[in-house]
Chain A
Amino acid sequence: MATIPADTRLAPGRAAAGRLRAVIKAAREAPQAAVVILGGLMLVAIFADLIAPYDPTLPVQGANVFDPPFWMEGGRAMTLLGTDFQGRDILSRLIHGARVSLIVGLMGTLVAGSIGTAMGILSGYVGGWVDQIIMRVTDAWLALPAIVFAIFLAAMVGPSMWNIIIILGAVYWTRYARVIRGEVLTLREREFVKLAEIAGASKWRVIKRHILPNVMNTATVLASLTVGVVIIAEASLSFLGVGVPPPQPAWGLMLSEARSTLMAGQWWLTVFPGLCILLIVLATQLFGDWLRVRLDPQLRNL
């Protein structure tokens, strides 16, 4: 006596179409200002070599040092945002600086996110003494002031963009580890994870098939919120002289170099890179906030 109801016929392919619609809908709802700023900066960073009018590391031929922006008296159209103390084009340096900021922001976040997510999963799923050790290390890490710690590391390994990325990753992984661990602790008790274990799945398989896909949302949200923090940290390190080494154009470095001339009235040396940092961080935070609300309602009061 098989009782097979008729309501089990579902159209295949409905899932795929539904997903595409969801993606389009999401793109429409995204905060437009943030998307425009981030998208624009990304394009600028990718095509910096084509867009920038001059070499950012060399003085512009025929320009003076401290040329003001074009709309001010003494400003010229050839150097739209003026020149710095070496006669280098500010605009070109800003454009190339976007590349540094974005690379450091994204790669640093990726490094921090990878270490932190791996640690969080290990800690939460394996448990026991592994959990104890990872969590105590995390506590110790969080007790150190991030920037001071980063300066210390940077001073030890020497300044370069890739070193900065690794350092920032090593400084900021702890927040991932904490949050992901918590998430894994609840996931571990979920029935589909228990089912996999009962079916004989290995720990590695459970992590790969069940834990990781379910913490990716949280990791993504954390990442979007970390990008801004990492960019600020990079700018701070560069400002303090232990970040991206000159003459490479980084926004923090530009601020640092212009410090002495700020009082002398050459405001364009500091205001433009400062604005750039403000804009990119604001945009990533707005985007991150939106992503947080969208992907994970539980994290709303993170």
Chain B
Amino acid sequence: MAEPVLEVRGLKKHFPVRHGLLGRGRTWVKAVDGVDFAIHPGETLGLIGESGCGKTTTSKLILLQETPTAGSIAFEGRDIAGLEGTELMAYRRAVQVVFQDPFSSLSPRMRVEDIIAEPLEIHTDLSRAAIGNRVGEVLELVGLQPDVAPLFPHEFSGGQRQRIAIARALATNTRLIVLDEPVSALDVSVRAQIINQLEHLQRSLGVSYLFIGHDLATVAHISHRIAVMYLGKIVESADSDTLCARPMHPYTKALFAAALPSHPDDQQQERTIAGEVPSALRLPSGCRFHPRCPSAMPVCSEVEPTLQPRDVGGVVACHLYG
């Protein structure tokens, strides 16, 4: 396969938490604790997991909003950690993000044309007219009329606003878009439209997506490959089809069980996981999932499982398949 657009190796991000008198005690929240994945050109990687599992921290690291504690992120073969000057700007230009809430990600005081033009103004020295043309182009790409350009964000619905956010992310011939729960805030009917639009854009432009979500159906639909995250680690990862056909990790199985069936009369296995996500401050010993795992064995609380190849492709970190 071709060189990956983005390759993440052993990525860690630990946040210090001070406690005790005068903040002398110090523990670490291991938000991201050794994550590896790669995204290839024109591919969508789905990153799925509960709130607090480190999905958003991972995206922040990729977007250079945080610096990693350890590990590397390589974009088109180059480590992004030490980027400076024009190389940094080239990276900023090639990687964009779409956030969850389309009501706070568009500045209420800027017109749509100025919102979309911003990355172009930063990265190109195009004339006003050329920028205007490009804005019209990307608006059409996302299924909006170019004549909405002079309007303000509050004049649009949630779905339309998310289209504007996508148009902005596309404006600079972007290579990778981080989609941080882009449809979670939208109505179910609008969700499908946006997802289809994203797939269509990927086919015509060859852009890669890192799709972050907690809704299994959506993530499985749009992703080529899926990585399941639990408490800062990837517990299972495989092609979207094989993962859906045969989830192996008990956590993945639980996620599938928790998703709504496609038909109300479908018989569903009751496999809900009990309890809350443990505090990232005091991680469980051994396998991080064992306190909530329905198939936990004695070994699970002692030895942390590593990612092993699955017999049907992909990898899984579980003692059941040792």
Q: Which of B93, B105, B152, B193 contacts A3 (CB 8 A)?
A: B193
Is B65 in contact with A195, judged by CB distance below 8 angstroms?
no
Complex Cα spacing A12 to B112, Å: 12
Q: With the chains together, A192 CA to B170 CA distance in Å?
A: 16
Once the chains are docked, how many angstroms separate the CA of A8 from the CA of B92?
30
* CB pair A14 B155 closer than 8 Å: yes
Q: What does DSSP make chain A's interface, helix, strand, loop or mixed?
A: helix
Residue in A3, A10, A191, A210 whose CB lies within 8 Å of B104 = A191
Q: Which residue of B is nearest A12, CB measured? A: B147
Q: Does B133 contact A (CB under 8 A)?
A: no
Stretch at the interface among A135-143, A198-206, A228-236: A198-206
The yes or no answer to A263 lying at the interface (CB within 8 A) is no
Q: How large is the interface on A (under 10, 10 to 19, 20 to 34, 35 or more residues)?
A: 20 to 34
List the one stretch of B72-80, B118-126, B269-277, B284-292 in contact with chain A: B118-126
**How many Å from the CB of B29 to the closest CB on chain A?**
19
Decide if B148 is an interface residue (CB 8 Å cutoff): yes
Check if B51 is an interface residue, CB within 8 A of chain A: no
Closest beta carbon of chain B to A165's beta carbon, Å: 30
Q: Are B105 and A195 in contact (CB under 8 A)?
A: yes
CB distance from A182 to the nearest CB of B (A): 18
A183–B194 Cα gap in the complex (Å)? Answer: 33
- Which chain B residues border A191 with CB–CB below 8 Å? 99, 101, 104-105
> Which residues of chain B come closer than 8 Å to A195, judged between CB atoms?
97, 99, 105, 168
- Interchain CB contact (< 8 A) of A8 among B88, B115, B145: B145
Q: Is the CB of A192 within 8 A of B104?
A: yes
Closest to A216 in B: B109
Residues from chain A with a CB closer than 8 A to the CB of B95 are 198
- For B, the interface residue count at a CB cutoff of 8 angstroms equals 46
Q: Are A3 and B197 in contact (CB under 8 A)?
A: yes
Contact B119 A8 (CB under 8 A): no
A190-231 residues with Cβ-Cβ distance < 8 A to B are 190-192, 194-201, 205, 209-210, 213-214
Residues B83-142 near A (CB distance < 8 A): 88-89, 92-93, 95-97, 99, 101, 104-111, 115, 118-119, 122-123
Chain A 8-34 near chain B by CB (<8 Å), digits 1 or 0: 111011110000000000000000000
Binding site for B on A (CB under 8 A): 1-5, 7-10, 12-15, 190-192, 194-201, 205, 209-210, 213-214
Residues in B245-304 with C-beta less than 8 Å from chain A? none
Q: How far is the CA of A191 from the CA of B111 in the complex (A)?
A: 16
What is the 8 Å Cβ interface bit string for chain B, positions 153-176, against chain A (1 contact, 0 not)? 001110110010000100000000
Q: What is the bound-complex CA distance between A294 and B201, given in angstroms?
A: 43
- CA A13 – CA B107 in complex, angstroms? 19
How far is B31's CA from A298's CA once the two chains are assembled, in angstroms?
34
Cβ–Cβ contact A3 & B143, under 8 A: yes
Q: Do the beta carbons of B160 and A8 come within 8 Å of each other?
A: yes
Closest residue of B by beta carbon distance from A199: B119
Across the A-B interface, give the 5 residue pairs with the lowest CB-CB distance, nearest first: A200-B92, A4-B143, A191-B105, A192-B107, A199-B119
Assess A8 versus B109: contact at CB under 8 Å? Given A198-B92, A200-B93: no
B63 within 8 A of A: yes
Taken together as a complex, chains A and B put the C-alpha atoms of A12 and B63 apart, in Å, by: 35
Decide if B150 touches A15 in the complex (CB within 8 Å). yes
Known: A2-B143, A3-B193, A15-B155. A201 touches B148 (CB 8 A): no
Taken together as a complex, chains A and B put the C-alpha atoms of A199 and B99 apart, in Å, by 13
